[in-house]
Structure 1
Amino acid sequence: MDIKVVLVSAFTVNGTGGNPAGVVFNADRLTDAQKLKIAQVVGYSETAFVASDDEADFEVSFFTTTAEVDFCGHATLATFSTMFQEGMLTAGTYVQRTKAGMLSVSIEPNGKVIMEQQLPEKIASFSSQEIAHVIGIENNILESTHLPIEAISTALADVIVAVPHGYLDAIEPNDERIADFCKKHNLVGFHVFELCEVPSKHTASCRNFAPLFGIPEESATGSSCGALACYLTEHLAELGSEYVFEQGRAMNCHSIITASVESNNSIISRVKVGGFANSIGSVLITL
């Protein structure tokens, strides 16, 4: 059986950069073992599998090279952008069933895809002493931000860590330490950010590390940026509710992720993440 996998770069900047994902359509008859095998052959951080659904417009499942995950932002963007660009969908709002729940996805006439995420769940808080050695930054440097370190999930649980401006690119991640910490605390990875200085058009620059799931570093992470937007809404309300995040700079693969948060009396009621994607080819995989 030959399976066509569309290769798509998501959260691109003017058609370049972004984070590649695989997309498989008509995946109704594929087993989880087959999906995992396909994801391993593709070799990207995630591959999305699109199937029919009785209630939602589509059922979408996501596999890394090591396991299935409940949700993936950049693979969702890749999926719906491809369907729009190939004329399978028109601009409008659709619903996908994922293991993170029924989530809406909107496609704007210009091709931008905006994904609804789960409402944030704060999983845990950590001290700078617990985190410093894991990501290789001195404790006093982490403390100097005066911002908390929290594990937040809008579908996938990541540790949100602020570092002072100028320190982000200097991080040299220790995959074993990060993976061990995430396994111990039942987390996916670390989302480390530094706030951008005025007059930058970006809110923050980010790096994401998820070696426990076979992803040493990722150039664009939609779910994590959704969690970061919720974090900033709570702790730095003066930044507003519309965010533009840059990711992938340290990998020489720039990505832009937009995020918005709606809230009422400090209670978040909606989280959305958006961006653009571009097809970069396709492969046939024989099972």
Structure 2
Amino acid sequence: MNVSLVNAFVANGTGGNPAGVVLHADELTDTQKLHMAQVVGFSETAFVSQGEDADFNVSFFTPTGEVDFCGHATLATFSLLYQKGVIEAGDYTQKTKAGVLGVRIEPNGYVVMNQRLPEFIQTFDYAAVAELLGMETEYLSTTHLPIEAVSTGLADVIVPVPAGSLDQLNIDQERLYQFSQEHNVVGIHAFELNSQGSQITASCRNFAPLFGIPEESATGSASGALASYLTKYHVVETGIELHESRTHHFVFEQGRAMNCCSQLTASVELQSGVITSVMVGGIAQEFGQKTVPI
């Protein structure tokens, strides 16, 4: 089988997070998909087949198993379908284990993905998370912001960190693995807010050792969760005013500490103070192909 190698959430033609994309995967078994994901070796590989209740069925496999949803692999998938002329600009649906989700492709190739409405799952005290980051509890608490597990398809623990500390995090991968198992979360999505006037709302890092990902350079699902978190707590320092009934837009950078800086956009629609839509977008580029025997 042929696997397309696609960088998702590239910024000015560089960076991004690589995903494998397998088109025409209708006849593949889950065992074969897992094998291919392991051979490709990226954090996720997407497998695309003809849809019945949606335009396409898409499944996502890490090197360790299947996950319900993957934002950057979704972006890679629909960007590839568009670049290969399989689909045109417009609105489509994908059936995933996280539900049937919409995807819009703009004429310039920009892909915007619907995510599930946010689920705010559980808050954690600073002490429980500080040791995972290699940080003193008192220092982490200076953000005065909650630490909360949020899901718009996958549950990540959203962790605000003090300005200037993001690149210095020292993750205890084994402890985070155990913590993620215990609390049924993918991992940690840490962020620091950028100063007012910046075009970037927040800089982020994502750690998911439970799924074989020590660190990821762009995480679409967690970006939707972060945008929902920022909206819930009205946490913005870049000059954006949050209103009760309006679509709010955010720009995130991720991967800086990996020398692979990526850019992700997110929008959250509020109606009378209630989140009614979460979308994440970006640009993807194919950079190669790999043949995997099955």
- TM category (shorter chain) comes to over 0.9
| RMSD of aligned Cα (Å) | 0.8
Higher mean C-alpha displacement, 160-169 vs 236-245: 236-245
In the alignment, what sits opposite 2:245?
A: none
Structure 1 runs of 4+ off > 4 angstroms? none
Q: Measure the CA separation in 2 of the matches of 1:220 and 1:212.
A: 17
Alignment-mate amino acid for residue 235 of structure 1: Y
- The question of 1:281 aligning with 2:285 is answered no
Alignment-mate amino acid for residue 198 of structure 1: Q
In the alignment, what sits opposite 1:207?
A: 205
Alignment-mate amino acid for residue 254 of structure 2: Q
Per the TM alignment, residue 234 of structure 1 is displaced from its structure 2 partner at its CA by: 1.0
- The question of 1:267 aligning with 2:265 is answered no
In the alignment, what sits opposite 1:248?
A: 255
Per the TM alignment, residue 54 of structure 1 is displaced from its structure 2 partner at its CA by: 1.4
Cα displacement string for residues 120-168 of structure 1 (whole angstroms, at most 9, x for unaligned residues): 0011110001111111111111111110000000000000000011000
Match of 2:90 among 89, 92, 96: 92
Match of 1:107 among 105, 108, 112: 105
Which blocks of at least 5 consecutive residues in structure 2 are unaligned? 243-247
Higher mean C-alpha displacement, 236-245 vs 215-224: 236-245
Per the TM alignment, residue 237 of structure 1 is displaced from its structure 2 partner at its CA by: 5.4
Cα displacement string for residues 99-132 of structure 1 (whole angstroms, at most 9, x for unaligned residues): 0000000000010000000000011110001111
In the alignment, what sits opposite 1:20?
A: 18
Cα displacement string for residues 3-37 of structure 1 (whole angstroms, at most 9, x for unaligned residues): 00000000001111100000000101100010000
Q: Measure the CA separation in 2 of the matches of 1:94 and 1:182.
A: 33
Q: Measure the CA separation in 2 of the matches of 1:248 and 1:236.
A: 25
Q: How has the CA–CA distance of structure 1 residues 237 and 145 changed in structure 2, closer, same or farther, with 3 Å as cutoff?
A: closer
Q: Counterparts in 2 of 1:46-65, with a 5 A limit?
A: 46-65=44-63
In the alignment, what sits opposite 2:227?
A: 229
Q: Measure the CA separation in 1 of the matches of 2:147 and 2:187.
A: 13
Q: Measure the CA separation in 1 of the matches of 2:93 and 2:147.
A: 33
Q: TM-score, normalised by structure 1?
A: 0.98
Q: Measure the CA separation in 2 of the matches of 1:137 and 1:259.
A: 28
In the alignment, what sits opposite 1:123?
A: 121
SS at match of 2:288: strand
Q: Measure the CA separation in 2 of the matches of 1:92 and 1:11.
A: 19
Cα displacement string for residues 220-272 of structure 1 (whole angstroms, at most 9, x for unaligned residues): 00000100000000112554421000000000001000000001122100000
Alignment-mate amino acid for residue 67 of structure 1: G
Alignment-mate amino acid for residue 179 of structure 2: F
Q: Measure the CA separation in 2 of the matches of 1:248 and 1:105.
A: 24
SS at match of 1:144: helix
In the alignment, what sits opposite 1:80?
A: 78
Alignment-mate amino acid for residue 54 of structure 1: E
Higher mean C-alpha displacement, 130-139 vs 232-241: 232-241
Higher mean C-alpha displacement, 194-203 vs 68-77: 194-203
Q: Measure the CA separation in 1 of the matches of 2:140 and 2:117.
A: 27
Q: Measure the CA separation in 2 of the matches of 1:55 and 1:32.
A: 20
SS at match of 2:143: coil
Match of 2:35 among 8, 33, 37: 37
Alignment-mate amino acid for residue 18 of structure 1: G
Q: Measure the CA separation in 2 of the matches of 1:217 and 1:128.
A: 21
SS at match of 2:4: strand
Q: Measure the CA separation in 2 of the matches of 1:99 and 1:27.
A: 16
